[in-house]
Chains A and B, each alone.
Chain A
Amino acid sequence: MKFKKMLQATAIAAVASFAMGTAFAADLTVGLGSEPSSIDPHYHNLTPNNAMSANIFNRLIEQDDKQNLLPGLATEWKAIDDLTWEFKLREGVKFHDGSPFTADDVIFTWDRAPNVPNSPSSFATFTKGKTMTKVDDYTIRITTDKPYPLMPQDVSNVAIISKKAAENATTADFNSGKAAVGTGPFKFVKWTPGDVIELVKNEDYWGNVPEWDKVTVKPIKSGPGRVAALLAGDVDFIENVPPTDIERLTDNGDVQLSQGISNRVIYLHMDQFREDSPFVTAKDGSKIKNPLMDARVRKALSMAISRDLIVERVMEGVAVPAGQLLPEGFFGVSPNMAPEKYDPAGAKKLLAEAGYPDGFKITLHGPNDRYINDAKIAEAIAQMLSAAGIQATPETMPKSVYFKRASRGAEGGLPEFSFVLVGWGSGTGEASSPLRSLLHTYNKEKGFGSSNRGRFSDAEFDKLVEDALTTVDNAKREEMLIKATERGIGEMQGIIPLHYQVNTWAARKGIAYTPRTDERTQLEYIHSSK
């Protein structure tokens, strides 16, 4: 009896010391699904790179977990007139090498960001058409030729680097660490591609100093591999938990999940620019005039899809049905656009009205390695459409093949498919990003409709979006964006929204993540929890 008590006591002591040990050890090992292609924050404008650079560098304006704008290296900003924006810079900020941050660094950054040689996706997107001038050491101005309301969003995408450390620096100098000197919460230590990125905390950070002394980032591309590494205790935290593992991890007492809705909508494009669409035929295989040109048919397709069923069965509950392009809470989201109700009978009626009482034959193309469960979604949709009398066949392929064909696979650089499944995440964190890229008439000169793979085109919609993009007044702009959404999706059904993705992070018990809607894993947002 006595012995048993003693044993219990030792066990408790052992557990307690173990728990304390982990509480004090403020080193963190993180397993990421995708590795950045460089440490140079201006080399490659893509999520893995931007997420990593946000650990080391600051922007003038930061985006918080919901993509709201927060003061970063600029404490305040405003449009002085329609064409000029003024930014007040934060004083007393030091770079990792101890040198002070001033307007010269911002001017230097603005010159370098669009001019990195061989950039596979350039930051010129954010800087072009904008001229930056220095007013004094802690004030800068940016001028444009036309009113440009998205200035703060664009500025929030460009990482500020040190002029002293990075003058004449190449991308390789950033990768080696020589020029990787920022003002961010973590200092860069080293990068061995494919193996490890090491960071230590910046004790002198101007914001909240991170709780982790040292962070080791390990790229683990395979999903099961990441989960195994977490369960084995080799890493403390992982991103992109595969949906099939979510249930098992939820039941595991040693693991804590963090889930959050993302800005990524999964949706369908429909060919609306070819009378003779290559993947639409009558049921007997003969040619017909492209039925997707008729808004009633597009509406019928939308009504024939049960979003609840997709979310519940295909996505295992980890998604949210969508009625527009961004979930509730984002700027420019319409309060009137609920997800389309599942109504196969109504769909059949609309099809008959449009002159297709017997339906037609169509192929739905989609990727099979890009979005969560993408191939399964395509299969489910094809089956639901068949129930409404439209004979749909799903055809999925790897993203490396798919996107080129979907965007410009046909002759003359036109989209190849008739009916495609795609996703869109709004980098600006508001509604104009998907509206201008997915639904505005394709226009090479103006740069609109670049991902409009169905070539939807509506003059009224175009005008609303273009006006919104030159209206600096926030309230007026939001109203225009809402109207545009209601016109483009509600009335015209230019595309069919399906659902918003929900992302899952997992950590050992005691660590949590504040989920970011932009799907990034930023180390600052990993924190201990009780």
Chain B
Amino acid sequence: MVEIKNNMAGAITKKDLNAAFRRSCITQAAWNYERMHGLGFCYEMIPAIKRIYPAGPERAAALKRHNEFMNSNPYMEAPILGVTIAMEEKRAQGAPIDDAAIDGVKVGMMGPLAGVGDPIFWGTLRPVLAAFGASLAATKSIMGPIIFFVAWNVIRLGFRYWGVHFGYQQGTNIVNNLKGNLLQKLTEGASILGLFIMGVLVPRWTTMKFPMVVSRVTTNGKTTVTTLNDIFNELLPGLMPLLLTFLVMWLLKRKVNAIWIIFGLFIVGILGYGIGLFGI
């Protein structure tokens, strides 16, 4: 069976990787509150999926598998994309990689790589180039915007192109060198890393502020104001985002549609801000 499968599964070509690179340039087009870059990631995977699987139920399953939650720095998603393509290819050629391994690798990489990419691209490179461009533009020089635009895009496209190819190479190397129960270990290790990272992201990437004043104590002319925020932080920082995450997980398990949860949270946000519970 594996032999036959081997013949049916197409090998990824350089052309496919270049197609993935081109598509990765609009990864955030359908950014949404449910799965963020989920649809975009699936869109990027399509050329590779088409190459690997013939039309049919296997291809449908692959499409479904990659239309899941995804969020990272958009440029750092390029190496993740390369690794994922390599794993899909080897899986189709018979390597016993299961869904959990691919999900785990994706989720395990997206947080830390965002932690690398965000400060480099958004925090450093763009402000430096933009401030330089703006200083030239202030003297009415057209070179300001041109330098900013060209320099940024050369770096961005270069990194993206390199990232997809590098990720694919590394992913292939890793999978090829796996023997015995190493794959099972990789799967479990990836799940552990993925869950660990989700635990990290809950307090770090969620913003909930409770500026409501609970008590105002004046001693010796000094006023100490205690807000709800202070109380929650004394209990455990990030506790509220964690509880909210559990609530949403529970609702999802009850088959409540994610879109209704999103609408519900918008209403909670507006009402909560209205009564002064939440703050910006």
A and B: real partners?
no
A contact set with B: CB distance below 8 Å: none
B contact set with A: CB distance below 8 Å: none
